[in-house]
Amino acid sequence: MHLIDSIVVGLGVVVAIAQWSTGETRDQRANFKAPSIIPHPIENPPNVEKIALGQKLFFDTNLSKTSDISCATCHNPKFGFEDGLDFSTGVTQEKLPRHTPTLINLAWSETFFWDGRASNLEEQAIGPLMAKAEMGMTPQTLMERLSRDDVYQHDFNQVFPEEGLSLKTVAMALAAFERTLVSKNAPFDAWVAGDEKAVSASAKRGFALFTGKARCSSCHSGWNFTDDGFHDIGLKSLDEGRFNVLNFPTMHHGFKTPGLRNIKERAPYMHDGSLATLDAVIRHYDDGFQKRDSLSELMQPLGLSANERADLIVFLNSLSSPVAIWPQDQKERIVAQGGE
């Protein structure tokens, strides 16, 4: 976990605000500089055809039992690859137990789903397809349906000449596409690069609060604003989260820290969709959390004013940027890292 700078903790946000233009603050901003290359696993190297196949699968409703739900139904680009609902419904029309998490920047993640039960994107991609309440498929049904499509047969044989169409190659194609869903060129990124006019004075004050008094960067660290860790942040939900995966006492009600890129498009918030606005989220962290034995020690009253909450929101809004859908500007990234 990346802990906030001890000088900022000790002296408060006023010092951080006063140092926007100093070398120290520029160094702090550098901790949030976005990478230029998308990481891909050696066992699933990218190429143009594979990513295009994954995109086709992602938007195809035939991947659901009822042929009316696709991956994009819940992971809608317009909502930051979420869906704008507290809880989605799958093929059974029953509400799912958790809010849909974003797919943005998952190429850099270490674990997947709110409880971290998947260890790679390939595993994550197949999970919803096979979940009875989500897309409701079985491996046999999925293979039979895709096998009847001559175009899919051709594409899988071309992209995976040694394996062809299989559950494994479906997962590989979907994961390869999902790794290209990367946020880029937000106003915040321009400011990090040195353009002082890219964000407002309010956003700069919000960044100082984020890394200082509000202590947000204790968990929302780095360019994608996540430590990839699991924390009980005191929501009223009875969901045990990570504890159901790892039976550790400290993991009761523990949920993965979400990245904050494009956060303004992703309401409502939290694993249970219980907080409708960013102001509600900040108020929760300020002093609205439920106190219990498993509560993260990082959860402490913050004493934020209305103006400080407003500045934090302006800063968070500066993290939004277009997320390109393949192949608009992705090919050069793939080539740069050895893909074709």
Residues involved in catalysis? 134
For 64, 66, 271, the CA distances from 85, given in Å and listed in that order, are 20, 21, 11
Is 262:285 a contact under the CB 8 Å cutoff?
A: no
Please give the distance of CA 70 from its chain centroid, rounded to a whole number: 19
* Structural tokens at position 91: 């093929």
Distance CA 325, CA 97 (A): 28
**Residue in 239, 242, 233 with CA at minimum distance from that of residue 283:** 233
| SS3 assignment, position 190 | helix
Distance CA 307, CA 313 (A): 10
* Structural tokens at position 156: 């899988």
> What residues contact 337, with CB distance under 8 A and at least 6 apart?
37, 38, 39, 40, 46
Please name every residue paired with 153 in a beta bridge, in sequence order, or none if there are none: none
Type of residue numbered 168: K
How many angstroms separate the first and last alpha carbons of the chain? 36
* Structural tokens at position 66: 């009822």
Is 147:19 a contact under the CB 8 Å cutoff?
A: no
| SS3 assignment, position 35 | coil
Structure-token match 């009316």, residue found: 68
Is 154:34 a contact under the CB 8 Å cutoff?
A: no
Count of C-beta atoms within a 10 Å radius of residue 283: 16
Helix (H) or strand (E) holding 173: helix 167-178
